[in-house]
A and B are shown apart, each in its own frame.
Chain A
């Protein structure tokens, strides 16, 4: 796909986000309302956003992960909470489209929303290496039984389909990917964790009480889905990076505009070198973060060591940078930045949650090297 085409999609999404999300995002942050999220989801179907990744042969839009990331960037620039609903959904689509299509045709069509009803979003449950136990898939008397409790997972309230990576009880390296209807018996959501940000997307633990799994619901080969999980996780990290940059972009724009309005010490604050330094530093992080995450999708690799980014590290860089950007953006706004109605403090809370999604950044730094050994 050409850049021109990407830019057109991006423009459409920006327009959509501005028209449908901007005005209500702050109210929804205070009083999260599932029906508002559902409404946006339905409207987004007119732009084919829910089925962005689904191949055209299955009535989807057939676009790339890169396109999803750009869409998320645009949505997050108005509300990272809404964007995160889509990000979970896209990540859940990855295993389906990277598996034998015929095998999971049922689920792909479900997501594409065949039959007129705009299917509910999907969500994805990854195992975590920061939990005591993960979800396991055991073979009992010839039946497949899923049990255990997930880590805190987003977009489970509205999700119709859950894409679950379960461990083998004997060997945690053997993963199986399972597609499961969210309202299956034995699947019960826990309490809303009430995270400080992404308020419209409540995070919960999901408990599976000896849920019997239909062998046809196994995506890919049983016990051999480590690669599939890594693909989905890598995609998810890219999406988080995009959302962080989208949110931070708004923070920067607001700070730049405000600095040109407010007077302090007898001049506009943008004329103070310290404010210029802060804005310049924000711009640097925004630029590097954006090129870093978009570079993830660049298929032509340069023959230069370290020239291609790792998705997990891109996420760590982008979210850390985004937090620094929003903290400075609030600082430039002074007291107003701390008040809800100016929308900046919401961005700060949202970014902090994005920063911890999929694991914390210092832990990523440790893992990337530990995994090399």
Chain B
């Protein structure tokens, strides 16, 4: 549809920023921390402009091309996102990133996902590398990863990270302790002098086919997966790494999903990110961050679908009035608005908590603040600092310090919060994307309106990042389970 079609100034087409307007509780924060909210508003302006002007006009074209060829990737769009530095947004400004908080990133994820969650994934899931490194928080590793990301961004060179957990016989099992203890892993690692040898298959890996590096959780002892699960940092140009087929999916086609093979792949000791037995903890920490955001993605899919539905109903003429004037349509829209408002607010609440307590709170801590303030801009990622960071003492101190902030209890608390939001957001995405089609009818379901795409995209959000059933188990276990 041409942009003129969308004649209601609502949602994506409303003037940004409307963050505080649509989430009034932020008003209090705006008074107390004006800079914090101001930056989120700026992020919203940038993200909405990008979503509306760069993403929206191309969404269906990309979806069509990916239907024909699942390996198609729109690099032009990716370059524009790279120029805007959306793919390295959480990295501190002084190091070359945007220095965006968890809240700012929530805004980015929401605006992009409300147009196309698959393209949003290509752009924003790139922070996986950084998140993976931050979990262990060995200063040397973190700075090395940041440097790689910043250098690649500057050169306009794609740098993709994948997170390889799911196996053909085990998806949810790899994300939960009790389940992991009983799983039958198809991959395994073996200790050899100087490193490890990896073998096995991972499946449904987002960006697996274009990744430069893969963070893989693999057990050393397949009969004791929980006790021996380790996390490896794997370069995809290693001998023994290969990509299987890229899946043909129902939706989210712009985001490639691939099968990965490890065949006697050697990983040097230094690329063991989490030692045997700590792999589960690594996964849990990443989940404690990502699940809440997937919930927000779900709420954004619902929001985007509803926006398109409203625009359609406002245009569509029936007899002597418009579709949107029908009372049953107004009630349906209102009902969906209500659900989205509630879930969205809860997801933003999660982002705020992320800034307050989780890894992002590191940026507010004196040692990190002081280091960022002390070093001049170019020096901070210079070789000598990297050398310093590789120092074992500093590495150890970084790890311990971060561990004192992001404790095991905190991780499980956020898994609990995130699981609830993940289920709420993605179930809502499915419900709303199906229901808006009932409103717009057969014509509104035509490909050109882009509304049916939300319906196709939504279903898998209930499945990935731990199926919604697994998330419910997590929620119960972390809330009531320990008491009974």
Contacts and interface: CB of A to CB of B under 8 A. Distances in A.
Interface of A: 30, 129-132, 151-152, 193-196, 203, 263-267, 274-275, 323, 327, 330-331, 334-335, 337-341, 345, 348-349, 352-353, 355-357, 359-363, 366
B39 interface: no
B423 to A, nearest CB: 12
A196 B452 contact: yes
Contact of A334 (B247, B439, B467): B467
Interface string B437-456: 11101110111100010011
B394 interface: no
Interface stretch (B126-134, B233-241, B279-287, B316-324): B316-324
B210 interface: no
B80 interface: no
A168 B47 CA distance: 52
A152 B446 contact: yes
B250 A349 contact: yes
A265 B452 contact: no
Contacts of A340: 247-250
Contacts of A263: 169, 182-184
Nearest to B248: A340
Contact of A335 (B171, B317, B318, B437): B171
B467 A203 contact: no
A338 B438 CA distance: 22
Contact of B203 (A275, A335, A352): A335
Interface string B380-394: 000000000000000
Contacts of B456: 196, 345, 349
Contact of A274 (B437, B438, B469): B469
Contacts of B249: 338-340, 345
B6 interface: no
Size range of the chain B interface in the assembly: 35 or more
Given A327-B430, A331-B463, A334-B172, A265 B182 contact: yes
Contacts of A345: 249-250, 456, 459
A345 B455 CA distance: 11
Contacts of B375: none
Interface of B: 67, 166, 169-173, 176, 178-179, 181-184, 203-204, 247-251, 317-319, 323, 328, 332, 430, 434, 437-439, 441-443, 445-448, 452, 455-456, 459-460, 462-464, 467-469, 472
Contacts of A357: 442
Contacts of A361: 438
A152 B443 contact: yes
Contact of B447 (A151, A193, A327, A339): A193
Scoring A265, A340, A357 by chain B CB atoms within 10 A of each residue's CB, the highest score goes to A265
Contact of B179 (A194, A264, A275, A341): A264
A82 B469 CA distance: 34
Nearest to A196: B452
Contact of B459 (A30, A327, A341): A327
A361 B204 CA distance: 35
Nearest to A346: B250
Most buried by B among A130, A352, A362: A130
29 contacts: A30-B67, A130-B318, A130-B323, A132-B318, A151-B443, A152-B442, A193-B442, A195-B446, A263-B169, A265-B179, A274-B472, A323-B434, A331-B462, A337-B463, A338-B249, A338-B250, A338-B460, A338-B463, A339-B248, A339-B250, A345-B459, A352-B434, A352-B445, A356-B442, A360-B437, A362-B438, A362-B439, A363-B328, A366-B328
A338 B447 CA distance: 19
B222 to A, nearest CB: 14
A361 B441 CA distance: 9
Contacts of A265: 172-173, 176, 178-179, 182
Contacts of A327: 430, 459
A195 B442 contact: yes
A28 to B, nearest CB: 14
Contacts of B467: 331, 334
A355 B430 CA distance: 15
Contacts of B178: 265
B163 to A, nearest CB: 15
Given A334-B463, A335-B204, 11 more contacts: A131-B319, A193-B447, A195-B452, A196-B452, A263-B184, A265-B176, A352-B445, A360-B439, A360-B441, A362-B328, A362-B332
Nearest to B460: A338
B447 A194 contact: yes
B112 to A, nearest CB: 21
A337 B464 CA distance: 12
Between A264, A349, A352, A355, the greatest number of chain B beta carbons within 10 A of the residue's beta carbon is seen for A264
B446 A348 contact: no
A251 to B, nearest CB: 13
B362 to A, nearest CB: 33
A193 B446 contact: yes
Contacts of B204: 335
B318 A131 contact: yes
